[in-house]
Structure 1
Amino acid sequence: MTHLSVNINKIATLRNARGGNMPNLLKVAADIERFGAEGITIHPRPDERHIRYQDARDLTKVVTTEYNIEGNPNPKFIDLVLETKPTQVTLVPDAVDVLTSNAGWDTITHKDFLKDIITTLKAKGIRTSIFVNATTKMVEGAAATGTDRIELYTESYAKAYDENNRQDGIASFIEAATVAHSLGLGINAGHDLSLDNIKYFKDKVPHLLEVSIGHALICESLYFGLENVISMYLNKLK
């Protein structure tokens, strides 16, 4: 079964809109686990516009499943993850001004940079994952950094699925996952996955260990309820 990690950034966005503590991020994280999700993902950004750095610290006392922290590995971020020691760190090449992640790493150009960071994280017992586009070249470059896993950036798949071009849209992901597995890499995926498109992706992409889903899952929960939506995802990931 592919594991579901729920990204709770949007819960933090809602909380921050009123400046108080409603919804309570820590309680929501605990409830998500109680509803059956196998992990909690956060993606703190330098401006702390949703997840705050203190949230990352506080969640260490709450999360009992997998704890995944995503982000651009600037010095402040690295200090945070070395302090909190999550289960997994997913390295994402976000520019400071982007609304959401919009590209994977060029693992060839940034090989030495990534290798140094990954060595530091793994020395502390933290599993590492690199956010990459679904191309053989970038997967092979990721393997050369020493990372444990990759996270396939799935926006192009989601767009193709919406345009009823799912077979063409999934092809590069099948190839990338096959190559990654042959190189000893674990395979995660995330970005724009939803209840509509997740089952086809899971059924077609081999060796898929984990999906990280936030925006769509929270939007779907407005209609169906958070507990129901998590159950629906778990059924589709079996």
Structure 2
Amino acid sequence: MMVLEVGLACKRENDNPPPVTQQAAAPTEPPAPSVTPAQSNCERMRAEWQVRSKALADRSPPQRMVELKKIAASIGEDPEGCVSDQIDSALNDELKKSVWLRINGQTHPAAALFSCSELRDETKCPGRVADDTAHLSERPDLSPIPLTGKERLSIGWEPYTPPATFNAYIAQERALLDGASATPLAVTADGHIASPPIAGRAVLFIITRDSDSQMYRKFVWLLHTKR
């Protein structure tokens, strides 16, 4: 009897095996975000622009101008606008320094610059940045240059950016807002122009054409003549 009880006890213990410990599931990695060809191309362009733009700081103005045009050409088409705005802004900053208005020996950079491949109505330059010449005076960051009407004015430019063509115009600010045309100004061979024949607030601008790219550039100054 004793042996039977022990055997039965052993059998009952074997009928209840210890629970099996389950292994914790390994954490799954989140799926990698999908990158479209356009996004990948943008990343390449931005990386290239970041590296090459930093190197411009140590270059002279003529070298910066040449290098910026090379960068724009090497990057090529940019339909998604990945870096076009940055390159255009950097190029415009350099171009604004290359042409100036000199009044009684004091140099004034352009208040605004517009670039385009074709002119509209002879003096409007619609490009990537809209030509808002008539509304520049509404910008709080721009102030007109004060004049008496007796100043000696001249236009000058850096020798490394000689324009293929060059024309100067002036218009009363209010007339531009009303859609009137600007009046051409005579410019001498050495860049001198007559004192603006308009009293009050006026807009003076010159339109040049690049000798290499054939792009039009419209440089604008705001004037206020008190006679």
Superposition TM-score, scaled by structure 2 size: 0.24
- 1 or 2, which has the higher strand percentage? 2
- 1 or 2, which has the higher helix percentage? 1
Superposition TM-score, scaled by structure 1 size: 0.24
